[in-house]
Structure 1
């Protein structure tokens, strides 16, 4: 592990320094995975947001690429290049992203690149604030196709009213047309997932014969804002006049942990992969400043729909991170990255510091089920068969140790990059 902070997630592919939040622009180009993300390289604070970029051929070894998109003085993205997606436009990788102007208004801008997705040319806005419907927080374009046409969704809301997902036609990427509301928080199935003002980062895609709409609920209050539990609406997408209508029939959480928000989904052949933002929780600002970094993306997850419930598991490629089996004495693990897997009804994961013990996970069920726990620095990702995953955070220091309590059927693996050098980046 190259970073001196024991809490740093060295296998998750993030840069050593700076602020990281939402995954953006997930793509596979000529057999290489590209993951972009909200990034401030200069400090662990949310300011001057760029698009950071890593790439990989195997979802295990991540190569740090040059920063892709940057705020431009006097440009449509002067205050930041916020979330968006990436499409292959007739062979040209094209980023479609939220552009924050000097007045904090939002629009949609484009940027094009070579096939390596390394050299980017940022263009003018294709959708200015004056082109947007009345609302607050309208942002995070996500593109999809239906019935031979291309559409985009953006999240947003209305002050004092319910959140909304807005629909646009964009067969021509440089000529957008507003088609109305795809779904609002007045829908009874959506309303069951709490009271928020804005839906952020909508993802609309097909999986196992159904259409899914993922939204990240944001509550904007006079004294600040809060992130709610990301949920998936499952239903049917239908033509509706010049636009479309999404009709949900069920809903459920995408992740039940407190440190998960703003995911994005990638179509990778027949499977759907998901990355989310795992935000820091409970770490003092002074510790974040001293460490020089905050935020990360989750490991990639494969989505599946089982009896109308959205589930996920670690991408199959991640088994390549397993090194040797560990045989902890009294359940103590001192490694910075490890995996626990097996079938059990009960397992407890604790982080022991000099004078206190922190219970990170206390899994208790009436019957045994398959479980996988991936720990990388301060990130803990838990996958239980038949249940939504949960993303947790706990911060080991230089003298901390992990303790695992569970049945003898649990197997524990040291995690690291394949190859003799065991490097973090390729």
Structure 2
């Protein structure tokens, strides 16, 4: 691993001047970030790239930022990986994509846009063995399909099935349906378009993943608690006029894969689905397949955006975001499984390394919580509320029901809140404590809370 501009991202966050800046989630000290991209595990390190504007806290002239870690706990920040090329197919931005190995060469496949508002193309770039330096020559592997029904295409994702490599992109159709486009990828330099693969005309998709464009499509194989595995497809559910509000959020489909009897191409059959996160501040996640076959595993990172305040929570204005000089946070890495036919999302076990000194053990009623904390709630069923402040300025940031036999695991990292319910998906939220405000967790009678401060591992 080169020492070029390598910085401990979390150590720098600990001295950030903005009290709302998270300390336990990697990101640069300044600038805008959004979608996680190119998540991969190569040569003993996890690499996470992300949409990045280092020049301001606004969504403009997007590049790829880059952090890496040997253990999902200690993160290092690297130089910008991909930048828009003047006159190239990505001159208006290097947008969402993936990183894979082409032989032994790390290779990025991403959406390049040549002019703002124009169509995207799949652009290829090759990386060094440590993924720190990249060669961009403007090679286009796939352009906009000639099908007049396809009006928008974005966000390539590569997957493997039955020993072959395929890719898909999210799309919008002229009749208002969201769609997936399928490609065969014998060569990463030349993707062969196979047509429209799935749309919201499918009744299961229409129920669980309604959208005008399926953004950031993902497809991975995950373990089933009772044995075996299933395929999980995930989409960010774009609607016209979203402007980073993303009211439909993120949805998923759970199903099976088979081969078409005539073409041999993969067929995905959705069987169930649901919301992939219950928070209003979560969008554009990316999953990566770490292992497949009889013992599949997959990781997920998401983007938690800044906002004007939603669901009764006080947000930040654009002027406040500009003054702070940063926008957007990546979530903790998450693991996926299927339990009783439903998707379960949990933090990776490694984040327990952030657990520091015990603040409370077996606490009940109304429990004070530090601004950087992990909380475990268990016991009797009933309502749980996470509250910021008191009196007239009191905000209920999270409200949920603790079911019998269930646990809630809550992480507070300055302005980022992640709530993980056992046997469910997560809830990702943003809230901004004012000077002198404090957090309180109200647990139901008979339930208890254990609280730890968060601390960087030695």
Q: Which of 193, 197, 201 matches 2:212?
A: 197
| d(CA) in 1 for partners of 2:246, 2:421 | 27
* Matches of 1:337 and 1:226, distance apart in 2: 27
User: CA separation in 2, counterparts of 1:362 and 1:46?
Assistant: 31
Corresponding residue for 1:188?
A: 203
Note the C-alpha offset of 1:274.
Answer: 0.4
Name 2:301's counterpart in structure 1: 275
Aligned to 1:54: 67
1:411 aligns with 2:434: no
- TM-score, normalisation: structure 2: 0.87
Identify the match of residue 298 of structure 1 among 323, 331, 350: 331
Aligned equivalents of 1:366, 1:232: Cα separation in 2: 23
Q: Is the 8 A contact 2:46 2:72 kept in 1?
A: yes
Change (3 A) 1:14 1:363: same
CA RMSD of aligned residues (A): 2.1
Counterpart secondary structure, 1:288: helix
Rounded to whole Å, the distance in 2 between the matches of 1:304 and 1:194 is 19
Secondary structure, in 3 states, of the residue corresponding to 2:277? coil
Deviation at 1:231, TM superposition (A): 1.4
Asked if residue 339 in structure 1 is aligned to residue 374 in structure 2, the reply is yes
The runs of at least 4 aligned residues of structure 1 exceeding 6 Å deviation read 222-225
Q: Tell me what 2:288 maps to.
A: 266
Normalised by the length of structure 1, the TM-score is 0.93
> SS of the residue aligned with 2:19?
coil
1:363-404 residue CA offsets vs partner (Å, 9 max, x unmatched): 334535211001111111101112221111111133221112
**Contact 2:84–2:93, Cα closer than 8 Å, also in 1:** yes
Which runs of 5 or more structure 1 residues have no equivalent in the other structure? 420-426
Whether the aligned pair in 1 keeps the contact of 2:409 and 2:421 (CA below 8 Å) is: yes
Take 2:244 and 2:430, find their aligned partners in 1: how far apart are those partners?
23
Report the Cα offset of residue 238 of structure 1. Answer: 2.1
Bigger relative contact order, structure 1 or 2 (CA pairs below 8 A, ≥6 apart): 1
- Kept in 2, the 8 Å contact 1:7–1:377? The answer is yes
Residue in structure 1 matched with residue 256 of structure 2 by the alignment: 236
- Structure 2 CA distance for aligned equivalents of residues 224 and 16 of structure 1: 21
> Which residue matches 1:217?
237
Distance 1:34 1:375 in 2: 24
Matches within 5 A, 1:391-410: 391-406=428-443, 409-410=448-449
CA contact (8 A) 1:153 1:202 kept: yes
Q: 1:227 to 1:120 in 2, by over 3 A?
A: farther
Q: In 2, are the aligned partners of 1:182 and 1:244 still within 8 Å (CA)?
A: no
Q: CA 1:405/1:113 → structure 2, altered by over 3 Å: closer, same or farther? A: same
Q: Is residue 81–residue 133 contact of structure 2 (8 Å, CA) maintained in 1?
A: yes
Out of 123, 130, 147, the position equivalent to 1:109 is 123
SS in 1 for 2:423: coil
**Is 1:25 aligned to 2:64, yes or no?**
no
Give the Cα separation in 2 of the matches to 1:248 and 1:319. Answer: 34
1:175 to 169, 179, 190: 190
Task: Decide whether the 8 Å contact of 2:127 with 2:134 is kept in 1.
Answer: yes
8 A contact 2:209–2:251 mirrored in 1: no
Aligned match for 2:159, one of 111, 133, 144:
144
Per-residue CA shift, 1:166-207, capped at 9, x if unaligned?
000111111111011121010000111364210001111212
SS in 2 for 1:115: coil
1:314 aligns with 2:347: yes
Closer, same or farther in 2 for the Cα pair 1:364/1:244, shift >3 Å? Answer: closer
1:227 deviation in Å?
4.5
Secondary structure (helix, strand or coil) at the match of 1:386 reads coil
Residue of structure 2 equivalent to 1:154: 169
Q: Is the 8 Å Cα contact of residues 9 and 377 (structure 1) preserved in structure 2?
A: yes
Report which stretch shifted further, 175-184 or 125-134: 125-134
Count of matched residue positions in the alignment of Structure 1 and Structure 2: 418
Q: Is residue 221–residue 297 contact of structure 2 (8 Å, CA) maintained in 1?
A: no
Indicate the SS of the match to 1:331. Answer: strand
Deviation, structure 1 residue 354: 8.3
The CA deviation at 1:132 is 5.6
**Cα distance in structure 2, aligned partners of 1:366 and 1:149:** 43
CA distance in 1, matches of 2:138, 2:241: 32
2:93 to 80, 84, 90: 80
Q: Quick check: 1:185–1:191 contact (8 Å CA) kept in 2?
A: yes
Q: Give how far 1:215 is off.
A: 1.0
Partner residue, 1:423: none
CA deviations over 1:107-141 (Å, ceiling 9, x no partner): 01111111110010013232454546442331111
2:418 pairs, out of 365, 377, 381, with 381
Tell me, yes or no, if the aligned pair for 1:136 and 1:198 is still in contact at 8 Å: no
Q: Kindly indicate whether the alpha-carbon contact (under 8 Å) linking 1:111 and 1:121 is maintained by their aligned counterparts in 2.
A: yes
